[in-house]
Structure 1
Amino acid sequence: MAGYLRRRGLPGGADPAGPHPGAEPRPPGPPKTVGIVWGLLVLNTLGSAGAKTIVPLPRSLMQMVTMGALAAAFALALALNLRLRIRASAFVFLLTLLLVPSVISSAILESGFGAMFRCARLSLFVGTLWLLSRWWDGSLTFVRHHIRLYFAVIGSAAAGLVVSPGAAMPELYGGRLVGALWPLTPPQIGQYAAVIIGLTVLLLLGRRTTGTSAAVIIVPTLILLALTHTRTATVGLLAGLVLAIGSLLLTSGPARRFFAWTVVCAAVAAVGFASAVQAWFLRGQSKEHFSSLTGRAKVWDALLAEPRTTAERLFGVGLGDKSFGGLPIDNSWLAVYLEQGLVGLALVASIIVVLGGVALLRPPSLPRACAIFLISYCAISSYTEAGLGDASPYLLHLALAASLLAAPATAAPLPAPAAPRRRLPRRPRERR
């Protein structure tokens, strides 16, 4: 990670060459402690359930670590922003409104006291984002934090693979890569790897990092993504990059060249490696099992056929563990419908629509391309992954997109220095 993502012009900070004559003054960049807050949010959203680790970790201990990280993130963000200066954000405002159906449905305790606990967690998560919004200025500062932190997370999965290959690729998960040091599932590792690769590629095209630094990140991350055999992350990465690079085609020569080479390589791979790609996507499953989305469709049909009262349709049954009948739902929209009802479903849809609409209205730029990648990736992954209605990595990705789409902040102009008073020459005294 040494020398990673070398800055050119220090986006969001001071110009190393000094202020330009006539240029508008910029506010100081966010303090380094903000990166620690973002890292604590990442730790909170890792979860505490997944594969068996090399050293067995009690789930209660992992929950204490993740919840303690969220409490520490909120306290640290509050200490950094004691005056409660926040920036208007439609994204965080809609998340705040999402708390309403969550609390209404969870207060009935149909899902147990765990639902109220999850509501408190979501409240702290949203409150921390409000406090951090002060430093959302459309710069790439949070993108760099995002890449470094998630690279460290999947680095733990790579370390587990080196220490114990059998525990890192167990037969229980079909030989797919899991977290052997921290209980990470293959879809989690695939998601983090896809986001890291996509953002790093965009920084490389925007000439905000060197080719060597980008290769240090992309090459090992791409290998880990292949070992997870995660189809959703792969499709989301490719589709997100196509949309993001497409937004740069008119203004970036490297983006046009990269897009052209990608099309050529994709055509060659489709012709020469079609059987290998098909085998990788099938993961040894039958075509019938693949068409039913690995059994997800049966859970979805049963969830939709479940009878509900009017209150449950509107507000849901309360925040839960994103499962139905003991099986994971693996669909953000159906999970939100079950737990937060039609009201929550409308708010989550509004979040995606508002962020997408703002991204389309912004002029072409690298931050806009990164935001388009994140929004499109989360929208595609929401079909087979849950998390848009609760504190999760997906909401953290969308929060990063919101920070990239925020209007740049400008510092108040300094008052012009007062002109020095001209001292009048003393007149000689007349002699009497």
Structure 2
Amino acid sequence: MRADHPPENADLTPGTVGRTPRIVGTVWGLLILNTLGSAGAKTIVPLPRSLIQMVTMGALVTAFALALAVNTRLRIRPSAFVFLLTLLLMLSVISSANLESGFGALFRCFRLTLFVGTLWLLTRWWDGGMTFVRHHIRMYLAVLGTVAAGLIASPGAALPDLYGGRLVGALWPLTPPQIGQYAAVIIGLTVLLLLGRQTDRTSAAVVIVPSLVLLALTHTRTATLGLLVGLALAIASLILTSGAARRFFTRATLIGTVAAVGFASALQTWFLRGQSQENFSSLTGRAKVWHALLIEPRTTTRFLFGAGLGDKSFDGLPIDNSWLAVYNEQGLIGVVLVAAVLLVLGGVALLRPPSLARACAIFLISYCAIASYTEAGLGDASPYLLHLAVAASLLATPARVTPRSTPEVPRRRIPRWAQRSEAS
């Protein structure tokens, strides 16, 4: 969807539509780089974790500086999404102030401050258009390009036995769930752009086909389920107004039914990933960590405010659940704020009339809600918050153009004798 450009005499006051500077795409790419993380598989060329952290943190600082440089007058648009993130940031600072999680908690609060501040500066260009959707697809496609390059360069390093032969990042330390998430998100968005005639089939195939291959190699069930359910909900929101959506939904249903019947055994093998029934029922051991976290005795203060921002682990084991991670680090109040983020975005999406922007927002919100059950990230700077930020930009009302006031030219005073001569 192309944003309307203002006339030459338009004044870009807060809440007006303007041409999005190219540097905004750079800022978005730096935010994505910051959220890639520093822990993951072993790479072909060993990268010290300190170096990776320096790169990711430097990317965030640079993103904030560039956003400030392109928005020097601090023109922002009202955003309930970023406002709730600001409240979550304030809560994180309060919960981290007692240093129960160490000085690392304060550093994470500083990181979240820059992250939220950059989003505030970018709200000036949130106008309900597809600008940030395209930035999102391009940047994550570039990330997946490094994954594909690592797979070609060293298949053994990209499909290690340590991860059960699942695809990892061999050039940058990315885990299978990360790769699956990135692939699923850009597949879903590209399919919706194709249905909305915002891209051609060739360009869509360049994104969708390689991403599907990488998603399949990661064996990531959460990303696959999020992609299917999110797309189903998004396309369902377009069925009444889009013939292309109706045809796609019908064909996808038929193909899915045939695949489920004809390849049931292969799909079951891929879905189980060679796990035992006990391991599968405990969600690869996650349920044990969740149970231990929930039965841990807590003071009233820690119950309400949490222990401060940490590394999303409990007793050295990953929590892998956004709600429990937020409960552990930001308490019950944090859980309420995160729930408010999803409810506000979802409620606004349901109230919007059917459109491509609404469908993309529904897909992103649905995907994040599904992934929150087995992945952490909704309470801190993460790709999931970037997905929701794109959804918020899509749900923003198109801003009106405020024309510049033309200075009034003083009228030349005509002498009385001249007026009498004109009258005669």
2:13 corresponding residue in structure 1: none
Q: Determine the C-alpha separation between the residues in 2 that align with 1:402 and 1:329.
A: 27
2:213 is aligned with 1:223:
yes
1:323 corresponding residue in structure 2: 313
C-alpha deviation, 1:99, in angstroms: 1.4
Go from structure 1 to structure 2 and tell me whether the alpha carbon gap of 1:15 and 1:93 turns closer, same or farther (over 3 Å shift). closer
Q: Do the aligned residues in 2 keep the contact of 1:91 with 1:355 (CA within 8 Å)? A: yes
C-alpha deviation, 1:15, in angstroms: 9.6
Match of residue 192, structure 1, among 182, 196, 216? 182
Amino acid aligned to 2:162: L
Q: Determine the C-alpha separation between the residues in 2 that align with 1:84 and 1:416.
A: 24
1:273 corresponding residue in structure 2: 263
Match of residue 34, structure 1, among 24, 30, 39? 24
Match of residue 37, structure 2, among 31, 44, 47? 47
1:104 corresponding residue in structure 2: 94
Q: Do the aligned residues in 2 keep the contact of 1:333 with 1:345 (CA within 8 Å)? A: yes
Q: Do the aligned residues in 2 keep the contact of 1:244 with 1:369 (CA within 8 Å)? A: yes
Q: Determine the C-alpha separation between the residues in 2 that align with 1:421 and 1:114.
A: 67
2:373 is aligned with 1:373:
no
Go from structure 1 to structure 2 and tell me whether the alpha carbon gap of 1:275 and 1:86 turns closer, same or farther (over 3 Å shift). same
1:4 corresponding residue in structure 2: none
Q: Do the aligned residues in 2 keep the contact of 1:101 with 1:341 (CA within 8 Å)? A: no
1:138 corresponding residue in structure 2: 128
1:211 corresponding residue in structure 2: 201
Q: Where does structure 2 lack aligned partners over 5 or more consecutive residues?
A: 9-15
1:7 corresponding residue in structure 2: none
Secondary structure, aligned partner of 2:402:
coil
Go from structure 1 to structure 2 and tell me whether the alpha carbon gap of 1:418 and 1:339 turns closer, same or farther (over 3 Å shift). closer
Secondary structure, aligned partner of 1:36:
helix
Q: How high is the TM-score relative to the length of structure 1?
A: 0.92
C-alpha deviation, 1:413, in angstroms: 3.2
C-alpha deviation, 1:329, in angstroms: 0.4
Match of residue 289, structure 1, among 273, 279, 284? 279
Q: Determine the C-alpha separation between the residues in 2 that align with 1:95 and 1:185.
A: 26
2:376 corresponding residue in structure 1: 386
Match of residue 346, structure 1, among 326, 336, 341? 336
Percent identity over paired residues: 76
2:159 is aligned with 1:169:
yes
C-alpha deviation, 1:416, in angstroms: 7.5
Q: Determine the C-alpha separation between the residues in 1 that align with 2:67 and 2:409.
A: 41
Q: Determine the C-alpha separation between the residues in 1 that align with 2:310 and 2:24.
A: 30
Secondary structure, aligned partner of 2:174:
coil
Aligned length: 414
Amino acid aligned to 1:371: A
Q: Deviations over 1:14-48 (max 9, x none)?
A: 499x9xxxxxxx83221000000000000000000
Amino acid aligned to 1:85: R
Q: Determine the C-alpha separation between the residues in 2 that align with 1:37 and 1:243.
A: 30
Q: How high is the TM-score relative to the length of structure 2?
A: 0.94
Q: Where does structure 1 lack aligned partners over 5 or more consecutive residues?
A: 1-9, 19-25
C-alpha deviation, 1:142, in angstroms: 0.5
Amino acid aligned to 1:155: G
2:386 corresponding residue in structure 1: 396
Q: Do the aligned residues in 1 keep the contact of 2:157 with 2:170 (CA within 8 Å)? A: yes
Q: Determine the C-alpha separation between the residues in 1 that align with 2:253 and 2:44.
A: 42
Q: Do the aligned residues in 2 keep the contact of 1:101 with 1:316 (CA within 8 Å)? A: no
Q: Deviations over 1:340-393 (max 9, x none)?
A: 000101000000000000000011100110000000000000000000000000
Amino acid aligned to 2:110: A
Q: Deviations over 1:231-275 (max 9, x none)?
A: 000000000000000000011000000000011011101111111
Go from structure 1 to structure 2 and tell me whether the alpha carbon gap of 1:162 and 1:15 turns closer, same or farther (over 3 Å shift). farther
Q: Determine the C-alpha separation between the residues in 1 that align with 2:370 and 2:298.
A: 28
2:241 corresponding residue in structure 1: 251
2:322 corresponding residue in structure 1: 332
Q: Determine the C-alpha separation between the residues in 2 that align with 1:29 and 1:229.
A: 41
Question: What root-mean-square deviation, in Å, do the aligned CA atoms of Structure 1 and Structure 2 show?
Answer: 2.3
Amino acid aligned to 1:12: A
Q: Determine the C-alpha separation between the residues in 2 that align with 1:283 and 1:88.
A: 45
382-391 or 407-416, larger mean C-alpha shift: 407-416
